Structure 1
């Protein structure tokens, strides 16, 4: 309630009067013929042939797929571009008739329409034409996998067309809408108003929610992103972009990323916040200051890098401001932090500090506690460095020059994003990857002690040999044998589950231990071959534009080749309406969709996000990316009412479904009141009779402010128990004093309220208890260490709009 919240504030206020690794990351590489050959090998050692129809992943599978497929995971190793039929001019073509219109639907004459190889406009245009007076253009040879773009003077395109063509495309389904183009200008300054140079300013492509067209396999995609950098005066010009409001982001090392609304025609002023900072001294292993050590703040999305001075000192900024808890830190920290799998919906991570110095082991501190205004002190003591060195040889002992070698230790950091490799200290520092010299030699330094895994591969083959060793080894020999590198091989063909036609462009993601690696495949016959996987549990995700994502559930694969015939189903869109009593649209309904096996489907929530459920607002929603098959739609209201129906989506692209919830039963509600109990000690000649329960509202708030100014819960904390007339405990409130206060400094509390049904509510530090009780008589018992037991009977009134402040005065010790 407003009054209850106000009182909580009044009483307490009255008492108070980066993610970018150091030059690190995997370099994208194409699959080699050994990795991706279209034909199945005749001498395969295993013939595990599975015909699997992949409609869409279940909830657990889809979660990992989305982590791997996130455009935001820029540090992820998108290692492939594939390889079977790699020429861009191969494959069938189809004629396309396009119409370009403005936002009002009026034709745009003279616009240039370009067709590119899809799905993301790769290479030069393969077909182009200009629109006539009615806005039409005809392109004769558009590739089956395509993207259509349009350019017109004074306009900008915000939605391209992408997908897979099975036949000619007519202008009814090929409409490109352009909007008047503008440039966004502005200035970037710091908190003092001084200009900031070199800030990356960006406007992203719009999120397209109505993606599907009525033509199978053809969909709309966001287009029209723009970036710029501020000059020495802090000024920037961004564009062209569409003439509408945009969300602008600005980021640079040493500052927290800013997001500002940008209106066309109005210069934008972006004020960057330094956020929180750290300072300290970096010491070498012998205790002397480390001069010239590289120090980096770990804070999403940017990080600041500095070098220590002659006294070993550093200062870094750009950490996000702490939201609660301790904002300072000091002393040494050298313990490794155990990092488990990241949750899919995690958006923050503990801040960290990375230090790299010659002759010493890479060091990461996480969490650190930066502070606003003045940086918190965080000294760092480095440890001596270890080395791992050796040679990479073939099976007959020939040195392998240019072999790629990378290492993984045991210490990890949580950087705030997901990658295809473990985010170990050395990986984040950029010292985990090298190539062998002409004699096949390699050497890693600045390593910490313990167990390590060394991975090595031929220069033209991404399959690896993995060797375990300990830090300090300088004569390690890693032998590469192409025959042995195959390990587990997954090969097969991806086809349309409805027509049987091969899908020429798709992505294969094998997941091993929850980590996925991308293989983007282009092959006119839909064939793929992925080799070099370790034996054991592997889950495979397959996705293609215009098709529902598919997933082959986790299974154990032995060494050898395993053939997988994969069928993906085209996507369908369902317009869902949920009503109450067949008439009134309802709101706040959770929607889930099950496939024919009963597994939950992952539903698109934006351009790249997915979830096992979505919330329906306003009585209607569009469900996209569903498989062309029979599915079951389940709508669950917030009060537990459920409506469900099965629908076959195979026939048409667009479907409609209405689910009806039964009317909500009207149940008599017992009147309740928000009770706000407060425990304090009597002073001087005060009597408990001086303090009576007060209903809060209007001018009484001011009376409470004066009466209870500076009164705090005793330092030992308190436990308050409410019992009804039957002797049953209705609620228990535990108040823990974290830091005591005085008449001018507010104490901090942690408050937990528990109820007989086992539920509990944890209130924030510094709050006042708020207990919802049914109106009636209660025995209130207060237990405080060092004070006599307090027990009294109170009559809790029925108050609809007001909180009931319950003072609980304690007699002296």
Structure 2
């Protein structure tokens, strides 16, 4: 009997392959061209930099119990991605268009390793048929990127599509962007600068290096909002530039770049011996890195700059040593700054990764992850490697002062996280022995609005890890899991579906929320066995009715890349969006029961991309859920002057003064403007004309008499002055007793 069932199952599988395999396409469809499986270099670097790991309020929490083995439902799942490529200019299908489908290997995780984070795998390439359609077999439950191109048209890109989607890709008349980069100090051309372009969702569209004349040229660009990021080799990166590309038009851009400053120094061990080959770079990704010579010496050019002091974050690492970093403030980042680093010997971690049959697993990504503040210095570790053909790994540069977790990931297997032993700080080397990876599990579901309609392209978070996370510290308090290793992010597809794959067994929370309304979330708790699959998770959000409008400059021109926000007072949520092509915006999340809400623009958001504009926030506009055609017009700036005093009327130096739109939430990032008082207590603020603002100071630490007890030296409350005209002169802001 068992043999007969086996034969029937085998015949069914053969029949499915004959009718549904990649060679059996619908009539008239071109056969996909399989692409070699080497990695692609391009990737959406920082694509997930905007997602944070903030806690969510408990919404609906239910345990989902429909568990299946992955093999049971895989055969019946639609494993095809379908679509149609259309010429927007001609209004007709585009036969012969090339469709390239690829995937980002680690799209659900934010991984500091730039190379690993951007790792891509080609999936398939197809050519559209006479009706502009394509249909290809693709992996299931895997987010895919689709690129469609055709002669004399802009290339169209769509990210985060899944098997089962049926999409339309409209190719517009191409836009062209060209420009030149020069040094602001002498006007000389900037050769070899990386110019990278992203669309409004920060998906990479193009990249190139400037030529000997400092020029760059991009053709076949998709019209719309375009974010340009520039990284020179020996000059300071300017702020991102946001522009609008227009269909069929050529845009010319000239940028003068600040030369920045040079830093140099020596990297040594505690005995003073130089460390050759140490890598010195900027930030966690070690951007623009250089290496020390045999004397342990290094030099870097182009740090800081007038607009990007945040790049003054040099770090250093070397094999066998714990990494170190330094945070420089503006005053410290001067020309020819000397920065020396001392690296201490590191901790080693070793082990072997095997499958459930005991066979070694090659190509497993293994990382030691941790962060800790010690003696006022915050350190973050992400040391990684890949297992060899024997499944073995060695992490040789784990900082001795940091508590770590071990992160293991390989496609097709459940990713696992383990806390390091409780006595990690007392050990120089830790051997984990054999670590078993089980076949990956899967969680799938759908996100719907309050009306029952699917919500496409919406962020979904999954929190949780394997049940045996504390296996190596069984009696000690668990480490606080980092959001990098225990939180995954995905987006719903065109049908509102979401998918998480390669999961270990354990308890997981699946959450969707409305940005700016932390209380408006829905959450489901899922118990997932090793290698199991849970389907049918349903989440519902009340997203309200869309509010639409446009942001304009005082001259009536569209203002792109401007944050539009609900004022966010005590009785209003802090919902925001940004203006796109044509200055148009769509604000989701305002519901009928909120009544009238006040919308305003954040002034600085426009000036970031247009530093010479000097425009202020728009006037507040009242709106209801579902309102359309709203107009928010940016205003010219006016000058406010004032003086900051203590309770006795003496000037207070070096304290920040922030201006907020009157009545709005006093959150520093939403300030209209900010300034720091000088030695005479004076401050100056550029503010939008004809508006009322609330002034608030930062923390002020008075210089107390040494005879006063420390417990009596509490700093005064921030000084506050409300309903001040934006063009007021000689304003006095005073701290209370």
User: Given the two structures, how large is their TM-score scaled by the length of structure 2?
Assistant: 0.52
Report whether the alignment pairs 1:442 with 2:393.
yes
Whether the 8 Å contact between 1:540 and 1:551 is mirrored in structure 2 is no
CA contact (8 A) 1:276 1:371 kept: no
Distance 1:403 1:521, change over 3 A: farther
Report the equivalent of 1:454: 406
CA contact (8 A) 1:150 1:157 kept: yes
Which structure ranks higher in relative contact order (CA pairs < 8 Å, sequence separation ≥ 6)? Answer: 1
Native 8 Å contact 2:147 2:158 kept in 1: yes
Contact 2:265–2:338 under 8 Å retained in 1: yes
Cα distance 1:631–1:86, how it changes in 2: closer, same or farther (>3 A)? farther
CA distance in 1, matches of 2:446, 2:420: 36
1:476 and 2:476 are equivalent in the alignment: no
Work out which of the residue numbers 263, 270, 292 in structure 2 matches 1:308. Answer: 292
Equivalent positions of 1:371-390 (< 5 A) are 374-390=335-351
Which structure 2 residue ranges, 5 or more long, are not aligned?
1-43, 54-69, 104-121, 139-143, 465-480, 551-562, 601-618, 631-639, 660-665, 685-701, 706-724, 733-737
Structure 1 CA distance, aligned partners of 2:342 and 2:588? 52
Question: Aligned equivalents of 2:704 and 2:521: distance in 1?
Answer: 59
Pair 1:457–1:250, CA change in 2 (3 A): closer
| Aligned CA distance change for structure 1 residues 533 and 76 (closer, same or farther; 3 Å) | farther
In the superposition, relative to structure 1, how do residues 315 and 626 fare at CA in structure 2: closer, same or farther (>3 Å)? Answer: same
> Over residues 587-612 of structure 1, what are the superposed CA-to-partner deviations in whole Å (9 max), with x where a residue is unaligned?
x996499xxxx99696653679xxxx
Q: Which residue of 2 aligns with 1:228?
A: 208
Say whether 1:553 aligns with 2:526: no
Deviations 1:96-139 (A, max 9, x none): 795633xxxxx57896584959999984345344xxxxxxx775
| Contact 2:413 2:502 (8 Å CA) reproduced | no
Distance change in 2, residues 1:556/1:606 (3 Å):
farther
Offset, 1:316: 1.8
CA distance in 1, matches of 2:407, 2:641: 63
Which residue in 1 is equivalent to 2:367? 406
Displacement after TM superposition at 1:167 (Å): 12
Q: 1:271 aligns with which of 226, 238, 256?
A: 256
8 Å CA contact 2:98, 2:150 repeated in 1 = no
- Aligned to 2:178, which of 174, 184, 195? 184
Distance 1:558 1:225, change over 3 A: closer
Alpha carbons of 1:288 and 1:511: their partners in 2 closer, same or farther (altered >3 Å)?
A: same
1:354 aligned onto 2:295: no
Distance 1:245 1:507 in 2: 21
The structural deviation recorded for 1:435 is 1.0
Asked if the contact 1:509–1:541 (Cα under 8 Å) also holds between the matched residues in 2, the reply is yes
Counterparts in 2 of 1:204-223, with a 5 A limit? 204-205=198-199, 207=200
2:177–2:252: 8 Å Cα contact kept in structure 1? Answer: no
Equivalent-residue separation in structure 2 for 1:317 and 1:540 (angstroms): 45
Distance change (3 Å), C-alpha of 1:604 and 1:737: closer
State how far apart, in whole Å, the 2-side matches of 1:159 and 1:769 are: 51
Gap change, CA 1:289 and 1:192, over 3 Å in 2: farther
User: Residue by residue, what CA displacement relative to the aligned partner does 1:243-262 show, whole Å, maximum 9, x if unpaired?
Assistant: 99976542234432235679
Indicate the residue corresponding to 2:607 in structure 1: none
Cα 1:75–1:366 change in 2 (3 A) is farther
DSSP-derived class of the 1:517 partner: strand
Residues 249 and 526 of structure 1: CA distance in aligned 2, closer, same or farther (over 3 Å): closer
Which deviations, in whole Å up to 9, do the C-alpha atoms of 1:377-427 show, x marking residues without a partner? 2221221233223444567876555544321244489xxxxxxxxx96442
Which residues of structure 1 form unaligned runs of 5+? 1-67, 102-106, 130-136, 208-220, 324-346, 414-422, 579-587, 609-616, 647-654, 660-673, 679-717, 722-732, 739-748, 754-758, 772-782, 787-798, 807-813
- Once the two structures are superposed, residues 11-69 of structure 1 have per-residue CA deviations (whole angstroms, 9 ceiling, x without a partner) of xxxxxxxxxxxxxxxxxxxxxxxxxxxxxxxxxxxxxxxxxxxxxxxxxxxxxxxxx99
The size of the alignment, in residue pairs, is 524
**1:727 corresponds to which residue?**
none
Report how far residue 477 of structure 1 moved.
Answer: 3.0
Cα distance in 1 between the residues matched to 2:251 and 2:593: 49
Aligned to 1:690: none
Q: Which has the larger radius of gyration?
A: 1
- State the Cα distance separating 1:433 from its structure 2 match: 2.6
Q: Shift of residue 239 of structure 1?
A: 1.7
2: CA distance between counterparts of 1:645 and 1:784? Answer: 50
Deviation per residue, 1:202-238 (Å, 9 max, x gap): 4444x4xxxxxxxxxxxxx999944321234433332
1:299-335 per-position Cα deviation (integer Å, ceiling 9, x unaligned):
99x8332223454332223332378xxxxxxxxxxxx
Q: Distance in 2 between matches of 1:362 and 1:254?
A: 24
TM-score, length basis structure 1: 0.48
